Structure 1
Amino acid sequence: MHRPMTTLDFLDRGIDVYGDAVGVVAHDGTEYTYAEFGERVDRAAATLSDLGIEQGDRVALLSPNTHWFLETLFAINVLGAVSVPLNYRLIAEDYEYILDDCGARAVVADHEYAEKVEAIRDRVPAATFVANPADRVDGDWRDYESLLEGADPDAVERPDISEDDPATINYTSGTTGDPKGVVRTHRTEHWHALITTHHTEVSDDDAYLWTLPMFHVNGWGYPYVITGVGGTHVCQRHFDAEGAFERIHAHDVTYLCGAPTVLDRMIDHYQTHDVAATGDKPVRIATAASPPPESTIRTVEDELGWNILHVYGLTETGPLITTSNSPRRIESEGRFAIKTRQGHAMLGTEVRVVDEDGEDVPPDDETMGEIVVRGNQVMDRYWNKPERTREAFAGRVDGWFHTGDFATIDERGMVAIKDRKKDVIISGGENISSVEVEDALYDHPDIERVAVIGVPHEKWGETPKAIVVPAVGADLTEDGVIEFARDNLAHFKCPTVVEFVGDLPETSTGKIRKVELRESHGEPVE
């Protein structure tokens, strides 16, 4: 028989099977059982309904990692409406574009960020504005908790929801133009949550620490994953290493996610403070973005005793489409050889690495090509952008989503990202992976962080430039860094220019903003 796949399946199972278990721990330590969480979801849904939200309406959600973000995310879908999670690091003008583009009917915002929306509220289609709490926001905002207290949790009757109905719209960063709204249906979210549960081995014994921003591709789907299996959500408004370790100990956290920069901060805090790395149970962490350097993996696994899982994807692909979780290969080939790679395709997912003619590159783990993908977790479309949608599924291979990521693939189908298409450095006709150069430089004991970009060169077209954050107390020189690179890489891959800085610009998910670095550090080299 055919039964629609919706995001609410995960909510219902969590409540039905684990109603008396603690499902959510708020930032302040308040605990909610799944039954209590479910009632708050129903109250939030009734509130939104009373405010005029109907099936198909878009509701923007602006919040750090809070319990009420989770409640509202599910409540929006209970009504058959569409959630639009907003990146809290954007500026008011960005919100104006997104709210206008998606035609949002309402905005539900945390007090910490509501003022950015207040600044542009007269220029957007939304007529309803809810804040938590409203008394900490200037302007005419309804109070979230007061509305929930006055709502009837039994008042809402769920509409018929098709699995092909939009569940959420996630906006891309807009680094190459206006942000694009990635439409994810109930089916794509459901399928992504299922395969993520399988490949990350999440169970009802897990306590999941929210260090990954909930807005980021719906927190990689973990609102659904953790709820559906009856695990415990442990909320932390914003990531800081001290608070993360406190929650690991207090709630026996077993699982979290974080970009390599999160790993670095956890390592630094562990090494400089007298703290235990785990509670009573072992900890594992999934990392994405750029691959963590081998030295980072060694420290996390050997000193902290955590298990690292490397995953990969994009907003348009769910995001997750590959995983390095392969115990057999780790045993036979070594953990560092495997865990610095993005891995195999996930269940029900087809991943290829193709050349400019759309042909598969040799599985020699050396030849680079673009990753293209097909799978049930891949986006439905870009909101109101049919031409951009068509372009995303055309090019080298029609009908496959083109990621823009360059990678190699080995004989057993494991991919290794070498660079974003736009970040590959072409010097004297040779393709250079900036990630490979960065990984080599991270082995230098006095380099805290590094990013490598291509800068114009009169003779070679482009040349690698290393932008380095020295470790505290380090005495680095440009010649010394270049010489270290030449001892560990083919000479044509080595940086010819080194610039030292105090910090590197990041996105909210820990990715280095190379576009910004190219703008500020991309001077030509003669």
Structure 2
Amino acid sequence: MKKPLLATEFLDRARRHYGDKEAVLATTGERYTYDELGERADGFSAALRARGVEKGDRVAVLDPNTHYHLEAAYGAMQIGAIHTPLNYRLVPSDFEYILDDAGVKAIYADYEYAEKIDAIRDDVPTETFVTNDPDAVESDGEWESFDEVIAESTEYDRPEMDEDEIITINYTSGTTGDPKGVCRTHRTETLHAYLVTAHQEIRDDDVYLWTLPMFHVNGWGHVFAVTGAGARHVCTRGVDAASIFEAIREEGVSYLCAAPTVLNMLLDYHREHDPETVGDNPVRVATAGAAPPEATIRTVEDEFGWYLKHVYGATETGPLITTSDARRFFDQDDPARFAVKKRQGIGYIGTEVRVVDEDGEDVPHDGETIGEIVVRGNQVMDGYWEKPEETDEAFNDRVEGYYHTGDLATVDENGMINIQDRKKDIIISGGENISSIELEDTLFDHETVADVAVIPAPSEKWGETPKAFVVPTSGDPESPGVTSDDLVQFCRERIATYKVPGEIEFVAELPKTATGKIQKYELREREWEEEGRMVGEG
């Protein structure tokens, strides 16, 4: 028989079987059972319906990793509205574009970020504005209290829903122009959550610590997978090393996600303070994208006593499509395992991951020949929101019917992929995608900048960080007429903080081809010559 795959089923299951069990430890110290979490989500569903939100309308959520995000997301999805999570690191102009592009009808925004929405609320189609603390928001417009609106009623009619209907839109970071809305259906969200449950070994006795942003591809599917398993969510308001170790000890955290940046933060804190690294449960940690250095993995496993899983994907792919946790290819007691764990790994169950050349043919599995990673699987997006041409290009560039990631990799004899470089000029710093083009355009707006090229440079803290090579209008790098600090501040006033260059170097000229195209490859090669490859692996 065929049963529709619906994203709402995850909370339904948790309420059905784990209603009286603890679901969430809030950042404010309250503890909610799944019955209580579900009732609060019901209240938000009823409040949205009372304010005219219908099935298919977009509801944005701008929140750090608090219980409000979970309640708002499920509250929206229960009435068939499309959950649209927002990156809280963006600036008001970014929010204006996304809210307008998606036609967002209602938004829940945490008090810490609501003023960013206030700055553009008259220029977007959004009609309903809800926050968790209206008194903390300095605003000329009205913000309703989340806790007050959910107390109005918990009665609502859940509409008929189909598994192929869109239920979430996750916006990319706009690395090649304006951000694109990645459309995910009930089916893609559900099957991705099933895959995460299997490969990340999520069980009902897990205690999951939210260090990964919930906005980031719905927190890699853990919004669904952890909830559906009936496990516990431990919420946070950002990443703090001391708090992470404390939560692990006091709450018995068994699972968390940590970008290489976060792992480095934990290593630094551990070296200085030597905290206990395990509580009542063994700990496993997932890291994604560019692999951390072998020394980091070794410390995490041998000194912390944690088990590390390295996974890989993109916003468009669910995100997770590969894992290095292939235990028949390494011995957990053998130091040689780190070489395996640094790879992006093999495809998830039911996921076809290929590395192809310019003609769309699979590269040899020799660990040397480089091609582009393409993928198809049930967790891959259906397309971009109202962008059919971009969707067609993403799925049909080298190989028809596969999503093209833009990442360049090799494949070894066991079919494990290993990323070498990036097809597009994307910088991934601390888990965030940064467009070198956007940063270059920003710097070009400064009157003292004649030419500029931005590349990823190695960073112990962030994996990689933007570095700008600037040709000053004076023509003299020794007397550029502006300081690096001036240009950094210029960028801070115009783009999100995480996109600001970590370093600026003044140069007399940039390496160019005969036709005038900047040869970024030469700049990257120079910056990464001590690293062995040109992706940020610390």
User: TM-score, length-normalised on structure 2?
Assistant: 0.80
Task: Give 1:482's aligned residue.
Answer: none
Partner of 1:185: 185
SS at match of 2:409: strand
Q: 1:412 aligned to 387, 397, 414, which one?
A: 414
8 Å contact from structure 2 (residues 59, 84) kept in 1: yes
Structure 1 stretches lacking a partner, 5+ long: 425-433, 439-450, 454-461, 472-499, 506-511
Q: Tell me the equivalent position of 2:129.
A: 129
| Stretch of structure 1 that moved more, 204-213 or 406-415 | 406-415
Measured in 2, the distance between the counterparts of 1:178 and 1:285 equals 33
CA distance in 1, matches of 2:92, 2:391: 27
Q: Give the 3-state SS of the residue equivalent to 1:7 in structure 2.
A: coil
How far apart are the structure 2 equivalents of 1:389 and 1:305? 43
Distance between the aligned counterparts of 1:67 and 1:157, measured in 2?
Answer: 23
Partner Cα distance (1:207, 1:191) in 2: 22
SS in 1 for 2:104: coil
Instruction: Supply the distance in 2 between the matched residues of 1:71 and 1:157 (Cα, whole angstroms).
Output: 17
Letter in 1 for 2:354: R
Q: How does 1:86-125 map to 2 (within 5 A)?
A: 86-125=86-125
Alpha carbons 2:59, 2:104 under 8 Å: kept: yes
CA change 1:246–1:422 in 2 (3 A) is same
* 8 Å CA contact 1:300, 1:306 repeated in 2: yes
Alignment correspondent of 1:47 = 47
Aligned ranges 1:30-429 → 2 under 5 Å = 30-137=30-137, 138=139, 139-150=141-152, 152-153=153-154, 155-331=155-331, 334-422=336-424
Equivalent of 1:524 in 499, 507, 510 = 510
Contact kept? 1:370, 1:404, Cα under 8 Å: yes
Residue 27 of structure 2 corresponds to residue 27 of structure 1: yes
> Structure 1 residues 284 and 465 mapped into 2: Cα distance closer, same or farther (>3 Å)?
closer
- Provide the C-alpha distance between the structure 2 equivalents of 1:119 and 1:288, rounded to a whole number of angstroms: 34
Instruction: Show CA shifts across 1:216-238 (max 9, x none).
Output: 00111101100111110000111
How many Å apart are 1:29 and its aligned residue?
2.1
CA distance in 2 between partners of 1:269 and 1:204 (Å): 30
Match of 1:430 in 2: none
Q: CA offset at residue 28 of structure 1?
A: 2.0
Q: Distance in 1 between matches of 2:422 and 2:225?
A: 29
In structure 2, the partner of 1:489 is none
Deviations 1:447-479 (A, max 9, x none): xxxx9x9xxxxxxxx9999556699xxxxxxxx
TM-score normalised by length of structure 1 = 0.82
Q: Distance in 2 between matches of 1:72 and 1:464?
A: 38
Aligned-pair identity (%): 55
My pick for the range that moved more, 136-145 or 306-315, is 136-145
Equivalent-residue separation in structure 2 for 1:224 and 1:463 (angstroms)? 37
Which amino acid letter does the alignment assign opposite residue 231 of structure 1? Answer: A
Give me the whole-angstrom Cα distance separating, in 1, the residues matched to 2:295 and 2:323.
Answer: 20
Q: Once the 2 structures are TM-superposed, how far is the Cα of residue 366 of structure 1 from its aligned partner? A: 1.0
Rounded to whole Å, the distance in 2 between the matches of 1:131 and 1:28 is 15
Which blocks of at least 5 consecutive residues in structure 2 are unaligned? 437-452, 463-483, 490-496, 512-521, 523-538
Shift >3 Å, 4+ stretches: 462-471, 512-523
Tell me the equivalent position of 1:495.
none
Distance 1:108 1:467, change over 3 A: same
Q: Does structure 1 retain, via aligned residues, the 8 Å contact 2:311–2:323?
A: yes
Q: Contact 2:425–2:455 at 8 Å: present in 1 too?
A: no
- 1:470-485 alignment, distance < 5 Å: none
Using the alignment, how far apart are the partners of 1:284 and 1:191 within structure 2?
Answer: 22
Kindly tell me: are residues 465 and 270 of structure 1, through their superposed partners in 2, closer, same or farther at Cα, counting changes over 3 Å? closer
Tell me which moved more, 178-187 or 131-140: 131-140
* CA 1:402–1:514: 2 relative to 1, 3 Å: farther
The Cα of 1:326 is off from its aligned counterpart by 1.2
Q: Distance in 1 between matches of 2:499 and 2:112?
A: 28
1:105·1:127 contact (CA, 8 Å) conserved in 2? yes
- 1:320-365 Cα shifts (integer Å, max 9, x gaps): 0001111111229831121101111001100000000100000011
In 2, Cα distance between equivalents of 1:21 and 1:414: 40
Asked if structure 2 preserves the Cα contact closer than 8 Å seen for 1:236 and 1:244, the reply is: no
Residues 216-225 or 516-525, more deviating = 516-525
CA distance in 2, matches of 1:217, 1:184: 10
Q: What SS does the corresponding residue of 1:331 show, helix, strand or coil?
A: coil
The 2-side partners of 1:385 and 1:516 are apart by 30
Label 1:259 to 1:470 Cα distance change in 2 as closer, same or farther (>3 A).
closer
Q: Is contact 1:51-1:128 (8 Å) kept?
A: yes
The letter of the residue matching 2:208 is Y
**Residues 174 and 470 (structure 1 numbering): CA distance in 2 closer, same or farther, change over 3 Å?**
closer
Distance 1:112 1:342, change over 3 A: same
Cα distance in 1 for residues equivalent to 2:302 and 2:346: 24
Whole-angstrom CA distance in 1 between matches of 2:62 and 2:372: 34
The Cα shift of 1:422 comes to 2.7
When the two chains are superposed, the root-mean-square deviation of aligned CA atoms in Å is 2.9
In the alignment, the residues of structure 2 paired with residue 369 and residue 517 of structure 1 have an alpha-carbon distance, to the nearest angstrom, of 30
Maintained 8 Å contact 2:265/2:461: no
Q: Distance in 2 between matches of 1:182 and 1:109?
A: 21
* Number of residue pairs aligned between Structure 1 and Structure 2: 458
The within-5 A match list for 1:482-493 is none
Question: CA offsets, 1:250-286, max 9 Å, x none?
Answer: 2100000011010000111111114100102111100
Q: Which amino acid aligns with 1:308?
A: L
Shift of 1:409: 0.8
- The answer on whether the counterparts of 1:135 and 1:143 sit within 8 Å (CA) in structure 2 is no
Instruction: Classify 1:247/1:106 alpha carbon distance in 2 versus 1 (closer, same or farther; 3 Å).
Output: same
Residue 247 (structure 1) shift: 1.2
Provide closer, same or farther for how the CA distance between residues 518 and 3 of structure 1 changes in structure 2, counting only shifts above 3 A. Answer: farther
The letter for the 2-side match of 1:371 is: I
Shift in Å at residue 521 of structure 1?
7.4
Quick check: 2:369–2:410 contact (8 Å CA) kept in 1? yes
Q: 1:79 to 1:401 in 2, by over 3 A?
A: same
Q: Secondary structure of the equivalent of 2:352?
A: strand
Shift of 1:289: 2.3
Q: In the aligned structure 2, how far is the partner of 1:252 from the partner of 1:90? A: 33
